[in-house]
A and B are shown apart, each in its own frame.
Chain A
Amino acid sequence: MNSYDVIIVGAGSVGVPTALALGEKGVSTLVVDKKPSPGQGENKHAIGGIRATHSDPAKIITCLRSLESFSTWAERFGDQIEWVKGGYTFPVYRDADAVLLKGMLPTQKEYGLNIDFVGPKTIQTIIPGVNPEGLIGGTFSPDDGSASPLLAISAFYRKSLELGVQFRFKEQIREIRVKNGRVQGVATDSVNYEAPVVVDAAGAYSTDLCQTVDVNIPVVPESHEAGITEPVEPFFTSMVVDIRPMPGSKNYYFYQNQLGQVIFCLTPEPPIVGTDTRETSVFLPQISARMVELIPRLRNLRVRRVWRGLYPMSADGSPLVGWNREVSGLLHAAGMCGQGFMLGPGLGEVIARMIRQETTEKDQIVLEAFSPYREFAVEEALK
Chain B
Amino acid sequence: MPYRDTSQECTGCLNCVAICPGLATTLVDYRKNKDLPTVTLPYELWRESVEVGQPVPVTDKDGAILGHFPVQKIRVKKKYPKTLLVQIQMNKKFAKKAVGIRVLEPQIEPSTIYEKEPLPDEAVICRCERVTAGEIRTALRNGVRDMNHLKAITRSGMGSCGSKTCRPMIWRIFQEEGIDPGQVTDRVDRPLFVEVPLGYFAGIKEGERHE
Cα A154 to Cα B139 in complex, Å, equals 12
Q: Are A296 and B211 in contact (CB under 8 A)?
A: yes
Instruction: Judge if A273 is at the interface, Cβ distance under 8 Å.
Output: no
B126-160 residues at the A interface, CB under 8 angstroms: 144-146, 148-149, 151-153, 160
Q: Inside 8 A of A154's CB, which chain B residues have their CB?
A: 149, 152-153
Q: Inside 8 A of B210's CB, which chain A residues have their CB?
A: 292, 296, 299
Instruction: Judge if A98 is at the interface, Cβ distance under 8 Å.
Output: no
Task: Tell which of B1-9, B172-180, B191-199 binds the partner.
Answer: B191-199
Cα A306 to Cα B145 in complex, Å, equals 24
Q: Are B148 and A44 in contact (CB under 8 A)?
A: yes
Cα A305 to Cα B196 in complex, Å, equals 9
Looking at B144, B148, B196, B197, which has the most chain A CB atoms within 10 Å of its CB? Answer: B197
CB distance from B188 to the nearest CB of A (A): 9
From known contacts A37-B144, A230-B195, A279-B190, infer whether A303 and B201 are also in contact, taking CB-CB under 8 Å. Answer: yes
A19-59 residues at the B interface, CB under 8 angstroms: 35-40, 44
Q: Are B202 and A292 in contact (CB under 8 A)?
A: yes
Instruction: Judge if A381 is at the interface, Cβ distance under 8 Å.
Output: no
Q: Inside 8 A of A307's CB, which chain B residues have their CB?
A: 190
Q: Inside 8 A of A292's CB, which chain B residues have their CB?
A: 198-199, 202, 204, 210
Task: Tell which of A85-93, A283-291, A350-358, A369-377 binds the partner.
Answer: A283-291
From known contacts A36-B146, A40-B149, A292-B204, infer whether A306 and B191 are also in contact, taking CB-CB under 8 Å. Answer: yes
Cα A39 to Cα B148 in complex, Å, equals 10
B-contact bits for A256-285, CB 8 A (1 contact / 0 none): 000000000000000000000001000011
From known contacts A44-B152, A292-B210, A299-B204, infer whether A305 and B198 are also in contact, taking CB-CB under 8 Å. Answer: no
Instruction: Judge if A150 is at the interface, Cβ distance under 8 Å.
Output: yes
Instruction: Judge if B118 is at the interface, Cβ distance under 8 Å.
Output: no
Cα A306 to Cα B192 in complex, Å, equals 7
From known contacts A230-B160, A285-B203, A305-B190, infer whether A36 and B185 are also in contact, taking CB-CB under 8 Å. Answer: yes
B-contact bits for A300-333, CB 8 A (1 contact / 0 none): 1111111100000000000000000000000000
Instruction: Judge if A151 is at the interface, Cβ distance under 8 Å.
Output: yes
CB distance from A277 to the nearest CB of B (A): 10
CB distance from A89 to the nearest CB of B (A): 19
CB distance from B194 to the nearest CB of A (A): 9
Q: Are A301 and B152 in contact (CB under 8 A)?
A: no
15 A–B pairs (Cβ distance < 8 Å), ordered by A = A35-B146, A36-B146, A37-B145, A37-B149, A39-B152, A150-B152, A229-B198, A279-B191, A288-B199, A292-B198, A299-B197, A302-B196, A303-B198, A306-B191, A307-B190
A→B interface (CB under 8 Å): 35-40, 44, 150-151, 153-154, 229-230, 279, 284-285, 288-289, 291-293, 296, 298-307
With A292-B202, A303-B201 already in contact, 8 other A-B pairs whose C-beta atoms are closer than 8 Å: A36-B146, A37-B148, A37-B149, A37-B185, A40-B149, A151-B152, A291-B202, A306-B192
B→A interface (CB under 8 Å): 144-146, 148-149, 151-153, 160, 162, 185, 190-192, 195-204, 210-211
